[in-house]
């Protein structure tokens, strides 16, 4: 098995997307572009009246809200909502550094999954950078709870996600997905899972200013007798896969990839933010390590989605 140095990577070019915000219903343009080594995910927003803020390095300590989506505060009273799906595509494919620019308060929803972002990233390709990748290694378990729901970050020799949902609803019910992360698995098993909601909640949500842009084009709608989308589901357990997609996108706000296991039961954006902030509240919970200090090696070329460069990807062999 090959043992190589683990370098950071960024996008090899720029990408642009046009769509609407699923919550505000307004048109928005978003571009993704390369960023320097060690810069992480930088977000820039062009607001009304020519106002601009950023680029700001986004971090879980700057989460403004987690009601139905993750909203990142950029300072100067400007924020960007629904960051989790584009963040999931970047982190899920192993992009360390990128700049995200939006001309409105919410990222475009496109089809409700991370696949359109992931496809575009694969098409433009990745640029390997000279600096070594760093990880946040979990050194002791951190748990946050809300009634019977919980989220945990715990020591683990690899990068794993274990997400379980339990809805009092026959269409969803109880679903669990456990995944040892690789970019290829992210792309084939997670990226295409769409966001979802209950048709019966739509009116109340819209009255509260949420889901104003939601439609069957960008969300799975669940009615009393089943899924309302004529095309049905992309995966039998698409709901839990989307929750895992959200978790990867939310945990991308930790600044570096997490080396450890994330577990959640009935979790969501709120608990994802809480468990990260709880992790960082005590320096004994984690350490920042270089990739070369971990028992990692790169994934075999055959396991990667077409277009990915083998040397930029890794998996645990521990």
Residues annotated as catalytic are: 269
- Residue (96 or 246) nearer to Zn ion, CB: 246
Give which of 95, 120, 91 is closest to 30, Cα–Cα: 120
Question: C-alpha angle 61/63/65, rounded to 5°?
Answer: 145
Neighbours of 127 (CB within 10 A): 17
**Pairwise CA distance, residues 262 & 158, whole Å:** 11
Q: Residues in the site for Zn ion, rule: CB under 5 A?
A: 195, 246
Partner residues linked to 176 by β-bridges: 164
- Token pair of 270 as six digits: 């709120």
Give which of 96, 122, 106 is closest to 74, Cα–Cα: 106
Coil/strand/helix, residue 115: helix
Specify whether the CB–CB gap between 79 and 73 falls below 8 A: yes
DSSP string, 6-34: -EEEEESS-EEEEEE-TTT--EEEEEEEE
Q: Name the CA dihedral angle for 236, 260, 191, 276, rounded to a multiple of 10 degrees.
A: 100
**Pairwise CA distance, residues 255 & 182, whole Å:** 18
Collect all residues with Cβ–Cβ distance below 8 Å to 50 and sequence separation of at least 6. Answer: none
Rounded to 10 deg, the angle between the 238-251 and 84-92 helix axes is: 80
Neighbours of 218 (CB within 10 A): 18
Coil/strand/helix, residue 238: helix
**Pairwise CA distance, residues 144 & 304, whole Å:** 34
């Amino acid at each position: 098995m090959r043992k190589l140095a683990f370098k950071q990577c960024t996008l090899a070019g720029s990408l642009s997307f046009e769509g609407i915000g699923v919550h505000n219903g307004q048109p928005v343009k978003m571009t993704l572009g390369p960023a320097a080594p060690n810069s992480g995910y930088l977000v820039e927003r062009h607001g009304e009246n020519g106002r601009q803020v950023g680029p700001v390095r986004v971090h879980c300590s700057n989460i403004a809200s987690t009601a139905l989506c993750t909203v990142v505060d950029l300072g100067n009273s400007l924020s960007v909502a629904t960051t989790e799906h584009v963040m999931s595509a970047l982190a899920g494919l192993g992009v360390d550094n990128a700049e995200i620019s939006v001309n409105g308060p919410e990222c475009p929803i496109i089809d409700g999954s991370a696949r359109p972002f992931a496809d575009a990233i694969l098409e433009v390709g990745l640029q390997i950078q000279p600096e070594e990748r760093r990880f946040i290694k979990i050194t002791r378990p951190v748990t946050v709870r809300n009634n019977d729901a919980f989220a945990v970050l715990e020591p683990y020799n690899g990068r794993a996600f274990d997400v379980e949902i339990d809805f009092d609803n026959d269409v969803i019910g109880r679903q669990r997905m456990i995944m040892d992360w690789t970019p290829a698995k992210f792309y084939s098993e997670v990226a295409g899972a769409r966001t979802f909601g209950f048709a019966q909640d739509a009116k109340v949500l819209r009255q509260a200013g949420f889901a104003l842009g939601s439609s069957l084009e960008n969300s799975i709608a669940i009615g009393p007798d089943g899924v309302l989308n004529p095309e049905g589901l992309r995966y039998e357990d698409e709901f839990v896969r989307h929750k895992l997609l959200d978790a990867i996108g939310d945990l991308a706000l930790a600044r570096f990839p997490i080396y450890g296991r994330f577990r959640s039961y009935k979790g969501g954006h709120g608990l994802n933010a809480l468990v990260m902030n709880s992790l960082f509240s005590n320096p004994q919970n984690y350490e920042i390590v270089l990739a070369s200090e971990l028992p990692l090696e790169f994934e075999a070329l055959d396991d990667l989605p077409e277009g990915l460069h083998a040397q930029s990807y890794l998996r645990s062999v521990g």
